[in-house]
Amino acid sequence: MSGIQISRSPDLQRLEADGFRLRVVQGAAYHLLVECVPAVNSRREVVLGILYCPLEIDADGKTVNPVNNHQCWWIGEPPCDSGGRVIKEMISNFAEENKGDGIITSVAFSWKRVDKTAYSNLHEKIWTYVQMIWHEALVIDPTCDPRSEKPVPAVVEAQARIFRYPDMATTRAGIGAATAKLLARRIAIIGLGGTGSYILDLLAKTPVAEIHLYDGDVFVLHNAFRAPGAPHIEELKEPKKVDWFGSIYDKMHLGIIRHPYRVSADRLFEFQGFDFVFVAIDDPKVRKAILEGLIAMNVAFIDVGMDVALDAENRLRGICRFTVGTPDCHGHIAEVVSFAAPPIEEIYRNIQVADLNMLNAALAVNKWKRMRGFYADDVREHHSLYTVSTQALIKEDRK
């Protein structure tokens, strides 16, 4: 893919024209590295290091100004003054930090403008840090310079695009190393009802290369009240759910793939080789066939379900469930997932409420992220129940 275009950003253009050796890395997050910056080490030698900062850009590819994050980081030995003393005044943290995309810094800098306001632009911020480090190197070697005599085209390293526009949430938060753990190849969502549609909403904001949508139903009036978004009345022309939701999230994510049919036993072969599957359907018989098929194919999954009913005082009581199955842990499935048909009087009721659908989806996606190592997972449960009336969250089948 083509990477960020330096020509769109005046700040990057100015740094490039100044002769700085820039490397822009576009991966799980966006990064700017200024290479070959002269610095003094503890032996009073002039060495070259790399100045790093997150690269926050807007929808037009321009750097966001003013620059709210005043910090920079360093790759190399902590810079010293001309006497070989570490410049502690500008260092806020001596620990290594993994910024993601193969970038590991050695120390963190924190230096604000004299008036404590934000840097007006990225060019000013970079020059401020470079001059503080370079000034000490000039005392030892008056010929050293972080700039070349002629402008050097920036090196842009870009991974294959997953989103239609940059993920600045990850970049701003500095969690590129964590987000990179979500780089799955193919994930499927079977069922785009209330819970399944919210699962899609959450997954569409992760760097999964392909998100496959499986559902044969149409999007009708009642779906609008238990799904993400707010459709206009004139949009409710009963499109296929995969087309309705696909058109929404295709605006953001490049890998939304639609399968406008219900999953049956003769289609289970399609899930061979998937990284993960979310199962969000109501039919217990079909659920049983799907889960057994995924287990047989060694495909990991999370199955979700809700059981909500009215009590005598017309209050809703219920439970939200998610159950994990993996190639190494699936013996509990038959014990905790019901495959029995509901009572005849409840078949057509099927109470669902948007906030519970959303909560059920969030619990399931949160668990998937814990399985990927994005979140810490000290419990490692494979079955969880949330009870509405008590707010209790029961975690079972821990491994």
Amino acid occupying residue 199: I
Peptide bond before residue 260 is cis, with ω within 30 degrees of 0: no
Regarding whether 191 and 95 lie in a shared domain, the answer is no
Regarding whether 301 and 281 lie in a shared domain, the answer is yes
The two tokens of residue 12 are: 């990057």
Regarding whether 209 and 174 lie in a shared domain, the answer is no
Cα distance between residue 44 and residue 18, in whole Å: 27
Cross-strand partners of 109: 72, 91
Range of the domain at 23: 6-178
pLDDT, residue 14, reads 94
Q: Is the pLDDT of residue 399 over 70?
A: no
User: pLDDT band at 202, cuts 50/70/90?
Assistant: very high
Maximal C-alpha separation, the chain: 88
User: pLDDT band at 345, cuts 50/70/90?
Assistant: low
User: pLDDT band at 2, cuts 50/70/90?
Assistant: very low
Last residue within a domain, chosen from 149, 178, 207: 178
pLDDT, residue 1, reads 37
Mean pLDDT of the chain: 94
User: pLDDT band at 8, cuts 50/70/90?
Assistant: confident
For residue 215, report the phi and psi dihedrals to the nearest 5 degrees.
-170, 135
Regarding whether 164 and 18 lie in a shared domain, the answer is yes
Regarding whether 362 and 382 lie in a shared domain, the answer is yes
Structural domain total, the chain: 2
Regarding whether 305 and 195 lie in a shared domain, the answer is yes
Amino acid occupying residue 259: H
Q: Is the pLDDT of residue 347 over 60?
A: no
The string of pLDDT tens digits covering residues 105-128 is: 999 999 999 899 999 999 999 999
pLDDT, residue 299, reads 98
Regarding whether 57 and 25 lie in a shared domain, the answer is yes
**Run of H or E residues at 244:** helix 241-249
Report strand pairing: 316-325 vs 301-310. Answer: antiparallel
What's the length of the chain?
A: 399
| Phi-psi domain of 384 (left: phi exceeds 0; alpha: psi -120 through 50; beta: other) | beta
Regarding whether 282 and 246 lie in a shared domain, the answer is yes
Regarding whether 209 and 154 lie in a shared domain, the answer is no
Regarding whether 59 and 33 lie in a shared domain, the answer is yes
For residue 360, report the phi and psi dihedrals to the nearest 5 degrees.
-60, -45
Q: Is the pLDDT of residue 182 over 70?
A: yes
| CATH number for the domain harbouring residue 207 | 3.40.50.720
Regarding whether 269 and 284 lie in a shared domain, the answer is yes
Residues 6+ apart with CB under 8 A from 387: 318, 319, 393, 394
